Chains A and B, each alone.
Chain A
């Protein structure tokens, strides 16, 4: 079996194991309420980290507004879910529709940003995605959406100007107060499914003709062009798939709460996701999974310090950078890996000789 096939199965294995363990803990009530409440966010952040890794690690572009796509998915998911509340009674089906719509709208946003920016040479994507994240947050802060018997109503002014029918109308999005009155339909199981689908899409994409082209362009753009690869197209593919996955994660995330505010998806969240990717190792999907899971529960475990969370992250990030760029530390880790290998080999030899 090829090394990457092994890695792919390892990743599925980790997720399934994670599900089995925590599902058992939940059903036997051996888990604290606060940790149980973190299960869906963990899955969501794993999807966010994996999808950002597609852009940062596989495609080699820096994106600083990944939370922006998450919020696009979150708000469109909530609008769809609330609007379909009476026509689609089945929660799981409504969640599925909301997640798909979230993915589609986020990918549209991805195309709109990606087409002009990814044609350029240079690191313009970082700046533009940063701006996108801020713009979308400010836009959602003044967005009012409601639904009544006549359908959806939109306004950029205030709730009253929605002109909702008093008897049948409900406000879905209420400016800075965010999406309100959400019916929680996300489940741990559905979140796990989303992680597995994400892994399936990213891993199969990376190890196909398309993924090979994306990586080649990252390694050497000029050589890729000389081989006839459409550079803009493949950079765009990576970026839009990533945006779509972030959108679906956003929808699932929002439908796990009764209210979601736009501020939740700000620059800090984008950086947080980037930190998961950097800590887990750029281009390393297993690393993204583990980093996202650990760093999502960490503040929960260190509740008392939660005000200093960003400070702690900054310190951890600096430490990791120091370690990965430190000659001594690098020698230590290679030596450690080397010893591990020797150990494995000697164990293997024993088996053969016995």
Chain B
């Protein structure tokens, strides 16, 4: 069992923003973020900066607090401590909706689609705030309704093309196979035109070929949309393959940060993972 009392090596820890993003403002700057659930400190002193087009990884054993970090960033939980700057703007006091409008979109570890809606409508929900016709335009079927719905349809189809999902557009989201549901969540998140995309275990439940395709697509998404991506993942091939920087979380604290190569050889990381493995066995 890893020692809970190990003091962190680096506070504030160094960040690994890729060189190409150095001239640009940081998309995310988190300092001393923490949350307590009653007596339990789920995340503590979490520091991280992400460059404008960086792909960052967040790894750690189960229960380390990774999803909780995403829930803090998206204000599903209000942080107990710390600050989150999104494009330099403090998100204190914002709620989930406002944070999304400011540019964070996410997927969920336990898939959360609008099951009874079609695939296309799921994407259109992502486009909702970029459309601006009013309720009465819709009820009276005024020209603005037709025009914007048509544009949304085309945009949704374009987005679905990223994952070759156009032919599923009319299927109910709840009826899709697991892998397709995960991909649809990503498309829906992208539809909200985020600056930072949070992916919570995007490859969970996917087979190796789907995972390989996902890896390519994550890079493709970053290149096409010029956005930053932060992902939580247990598939080490994927993490080491696409992430430019990785933070390792254990018991709610960052125990290491670095490039994939650095992380792979970090004894503390290895111990955290082996320790967790032993516990599970």
Binding site for B on A (CB under 8 A): 200-201, 204-205, 208-213, 215-216, 219-220, 222-231, 237
| Known contacts A219-B115, A227-B126; is-contact A211 B138 (Cβ 8 Å) | yes
Verify A225–B128 contact, CB threshold 8 A.
Answer: no
Verify B145–A230 contact, CB threshold 8 A.
Answer: no
Chain A residue nearest to B138 in the complex (CB)? A208
Contact bitstring B251-266, A, C-beta under 8 A = 1, else 0: 0000000000000000
| Known contacts A204-B140, A215-B114; is-contact A225 B96 (Cβ 8 Å) | yes
Q: Could you name 27 residue pairs across A and B whose Cβ atoms are closer than 8 Å?
A: A205-B139, A208-B149, A209-B124, A209-B128, A209-B131, A209-B138, A210-B135, A212-B117, A212-B125, A213-B125, A215-B114, A216-B117, A216-B121, A216-B122, A219-B113, A223-B108, A225-B95, A226-B96, A226-B100, A226-B106, A226-B108, A226-B112, A227-B105, A227-B128, A227-B191, A229-B128, A230-B97
Verify B125–A224 contact, CB threshold 8 A.
Answer: yes
Q: Distance (Å) between the CB of B141 and the closest chain A CB?
A: 6
Set B101, B114, B121, B145: member contacting A220, Cβ < 8 A:
B114
Q: Distance (Å) between the CB of B159 and the closest chain A CB?
A: 13
B74 is an interface residue with CB less than 8 A from chain A: yes
How would you classify the secondary structure of chain A's contact residues: helix, strand, loop or mixed?
A: helix
Chain A residue nearest to B137 in the complex (CB)? A208
Q: Distance (Å) between the CB of A304 and the closest chain B CB?
A: 43
Chain B residue nearest to A207 in the complex (CB)? B138
B182 is an interface residue with CB less than 8 A from chain A: no
Q: Distance (Å) between the CB of A4 and the closest chain B CB?
A: 10
Contacts of B245 in A (CB 8 A): none
Contacts of B140 in A (CB 8 A): 204
B133 is an interface residue with CB less than 8 A from chain A: yes
Q: Distance (Å) between the CB of A141 and the closest chain B CB?
A: 36
Point out which of A212, A220, A227, A231 has the most chain B C-beta atoms below 10 A from its C-beta.
A227
Binding site for A on B (CB under 8 A): 74, 76, 95-97, 100-101, 105-106, 108, 112-117, 121-122, 124-126, 128-129, 131, 133, 135, 137-141, 145, 148-149, 188-189, 191-192
Q: Distance (Å) between the CB of B198 and the closest chain A CB?
A: 9
Chain B residue nearest to A215 in the complex (CB)? B117
Verify A201–B125 contact, CB threshold 8 A.
Answer: no
Q: Distance (Å) between the CB of A76 and the closest chain B CB?
A: 23
Verify A209–B133 contact, CB threshold 8 A.
Answer: yes
Verify B116–A228 contact, CB threshold 8 A.
Answer: no
Verify A212–B124 contact, CB threshold 8 A.
Answer: yes
- In whole angstroms, how far apart are the Cα atoms of A223 and B115 in the complex? 11
- In whole angstroms, how far apart are the Cα atoms of A119 and B1 in the complex? 44
Chain A residue nearest to B132 in the complex (CB)? A209
Chain A residue nearest to B105 in the complex (CB)? A226
Verify B128–A212 contact, CB threshold 8 A.
Answer: yes
Verify B121–A222 contact, CB threshold 8 A.
Answer: no
Verify A219–B139 contact, CB threshold 8 A.
Answer: no
Contacts of A220 in B (CB 8 A): 112-115
- In whole angstroms, how far apart are the Cα atoms of A224 and B106 in the complex? 11
Set B108, B113, B139: member contacting A201, Cβ < 8 A:
B139
Verify B114–A216 contact, CB threshold 8 A.
Answer: yes
Q: Distance (Å) between the CB of B218 and the closest chain A CB?
A: 19
Verify B74–A226 contact, CB threshold 8 A.
Answer: yes
| Known contacts A226-B74, A227-B192, A228-B128; is-contact A212 B113 (Cβ 8 Å) | no
Set A208, A223, A231: member contacting B113, Cβ < 8 A:
A223
Q: Distance (Å) between the CB of A163 and the closest chain B CB?
A: 43
- In whole angstroms, how far apart are the Cα atoms of A220 and B117 in the complex? 11
Known: A216-B121, A225-B96, A228-B101. 17 other contacts (CB 8 A): A204-B140, A208-B137, A209-B149, A212-B125, A215-B117, A216-B117, A219-B116, A222-B76, A222-B108, A224-B114, A224-B125, A225-B95, A227-B128, A227-B188, A228-B97, A228-B100, A229-B97
